[in-house]
Structure 1
Amino acid sequence: MIKSSLKKLAVAAGFAAALLPSAALAEYPEKPITMVIPFGAGGSHDLNARVITSIIPTYLEQAMIVRLTPGAGGQKGTQEVANAAADGYTLLFTHNYVDMLQQYVENLPYDPLEDFIPIARVNYAPIGVVVRADSPYQTFEELVAAAEKDPGGIRMSHSGNWGALFVPAAQIMKERGISLNLVPYKGGGPAMQALLSGDADVTMGFPSTLGSQIESGTVRVLATAGAERMFDDVPTFAEVGVEGDVGFMHRVLVAPKGTPDEVVAKLTTAFEALVEDKTFVRMMGRLNETIDLVDGPGYQKMREDQAVAYKELVDALTK
């Protein structure tokens, strides 16, 4: 009789548990999280992500795994996340050009503003124009002069059409009235390797990808974005006649639309703790990268502003 009663209680308890919402049974995250990067290996996103994913488990109590999914200028990986379950286990680590600009130059299979929820803008980075150390171009002006003499003859490797390297190059060409042969690769890492191997004459890069190359003496920086010089002997874009908001990449983490509020909140809290972590700060410093967190709502406002600015930019570059 006692065994029968206990059995009935166990069945009843199991039935009641089955009726409870899943959140009551397991708190997010209960398994590793995948961070999809829609670019190739060795680029600035890849390097920044390796630092993030090495520290963030401390604040999520689960691993975060990087998955590189390059292709179609970032669209392949972006679509993968747009189609993923909105459960917080598949996130996209992207940047402003893919996130907000591509919609004006491509028929995308997703809507950036409608299909994603921003979690955080982790940081931003200014770009630099670089050549190999043995390049005949000692200065930016020498590169411009060579391009004027031989329009389309100088090969510039970049990370994909209308991406983080392509757009500044297009802006520079427009401002200085020159033509470069823009050759796409699957990310900033492959673009840099094309330069180093001699397949390209010039490329661009961000602090995390340039640091080791500068230290080893394999590249020369000709100009950098920003109002202030990154290097004492290297001019800014403004100093070489390229004015305006040129060459800044915002690194952004987004989730599929419909991701529960409590999951977004957990991720936001983890990233707020991450940027204060001393080890994270030290490792980002070694990459020469900034730390400048903007939360989801803050970046959503930035996205809306970017959408307007990028439409004007595309119109200006394509007309």
Structure 2
Amino acid sequence: MLTKLTKKTMAAMAVAAAALTGTVAPAAADYPEKPITMVIPFSAGGSHDLNGRVITSILPSYLNQAVIVRLTPGAGAQKGAQEVANAPADGYTLLFTHNYADQLQQYVDKLPYDPLEDFVTVARVNYAPAAVAVQADSPYQTFEDLVEASKANPGKIRMAHSGNWGAFFVPAAQMMTALDMQWNLVPYQGGGPALQALLSGDADVTMGFPSSLASHVEAGTVRILATAGEERMFDDVPTFAEVGVEGDIGFMHRVVLAPADTPENALTILRDAFSKLAEDQTFANMMGRLGENIEVLGAEEYDAMRAGQSKAYKELVEKLTSQ
């Protein structure tokens, strides 16, 4: 595997060679000339998979090329991220990930890539507030019921999550700290498998996002006990803050990244396509049916957030691992 220095050196040599010979890389002139692959480093059935299917059904309208989803779960999203980091920086391989996998993972694992050096932001598509969910026939009718049972039986409540230090593990750990309770945190390879664990009875509680929970809530198989956010998502369901878990927790930002050194013209075309996607009424309708918002942020704005996330997650990991 090429080191970052080697990749950047070779990229510079290629540019210099093109200048000397008067040639221009095809990607720079005619991008995109072939289908684009969007790697999702999570399992089927989770919110990224569902959101990704909607995105890739509309985005080709603005790129004149197909956008193909490839699910590459494993190692807490590291497998898919490494695949994209090692891919040619030509705009044809993108990563659809989230803030925890992107910026927090580096503080708990030695990664084979550098999140800020090896990737560049294309766009943040939206964000989603996590919800604590149980089966509809669960004995825990309210979040307070769940907390009371958790305190009475430390470590007995099985909480299915999407992977260590992921989008559900982190708010679960923060909840346990804030409320002085203990769950048995059971990792699964993504939000989809974690939800299936709840539905099959292998777990007592899990977390989810609107796109993955909405149909189950509507079908009457899942009940929401609490949600992240300043405002209630449901009239009769409290927010995390209302149940005693303060702070900016439980939010997942869905972001599209590209390998570093992707040509600027390719990034401009991709970013323009996502900007148009945000105004697309069909996209809005499809996302609405998933229960998801559309909050596209440009690269510059989200990059400022990434830097802040990196600092905050470093402090969070230090706090949680010191206890």
Alignment TM-score, normalising by the size of structure 2: 0.92
Aligned to 1:279: 282
> CA separation in 1, counterparts of 2:44 and 2:169?
18
Q: Which has the larger radius of gyration?
A: 1
Q: Name the CA distance, whole Å, in 2 between partners of 1:68 and 1:32.
A: 16
1:278-315 deviations in Å (ceiling 9; x for gaps):
10011011111111111111111110011111111111
Q: Does 1:111 align with 2:114?
A: yes
Q: In structure 1, how many angstroms separate the alpha carbons of the residues matched to 2:294 and 2:52?
A: 13
Counterpart in 1 of 2:90? 87
In the other structure, the counterpart of 2:75 is: 72
Q: Which string of whole-angstrom CA distances, capped at 9 and with x for unpartnered residues, describes residues 17-52 of structure 1?
A: x95313389511111000000000000000000000
What CA deviation, in whole Å up to 9, does each residue of 1:88-120 have, x standing for no partner?
Answer: 111000000000001111111111011000000
Q: Does 1:157 align with 2:196?
A: no
Q: Is the 8 A contact 2:96 2:256 kept in 1?
A: yes
| Mapping 1:20-169, distance limit 5 Å | 20-23=23-26, 27-169=30-172
SS of 1:112's equivalent? coil
Residue aligned with 2:117, SS: helix
Does the C-alpha gap of structure 1 residues 25 and 162 become closer, same or farther in structure 2, counting only changes over 3 Å? closer
1:248 and 2:251 correspond: yes
CA distance in 1, matches of 2:33, 2:110: 36
- After TM superposition, which residue ranges in structure 1, 4 or more long, deviate above 2 angstroms? 22-26
- The offset of 1:318, in angstroms, is 1.2
Structure 2 partner of 1:233: 236
Which residue in the other structure is 1:188 paired with? 191
> TM-score, normalization: structure 1?
0.93
CA offsets per residue over residues 254-286 of structure 1, 9 Å max, x none? 000110000100000000011101100110111
5+ residue gaps, structure 1? 1-17
Deviations 1:60-111 (A, max 9, x none): 0000000000001111101111111100111000000000001111111111
Q: 1:144 to 1:27 in 2, by over 3 A?
A: same
Q: Distance in 2 between matches of 1:102 and 1:53?
A: 26
Alignment RMSD (CA, Å): 1.1
Q: Distance in 2 between matches of 1:127 and 1:270?
A: 28
8 Å CA contact 2:28–2:265 kept in 1: the answer is no
Partner of 1:15: none
Identity percentage of aligned residues: 70
Contact 2:28 2:263 in 1 (8 A): no
| Partner AA of 1:88 in structure 2 | G
What's the secondary structure of 2:316's corresponding residue? helix
Unaligned runs of 5+ in 2: 1-20
User: Retained in 1: the 8 A contact 2:40–2:72?
Assistant: yes
One-letter identity of the residue aligned with 1:106 = D
1:318 aligns with 2:308: no
Give the direction of change, closer, same or farther, for the CA distance of 1:216–1:86 in structure 2 (3 Å limit): same
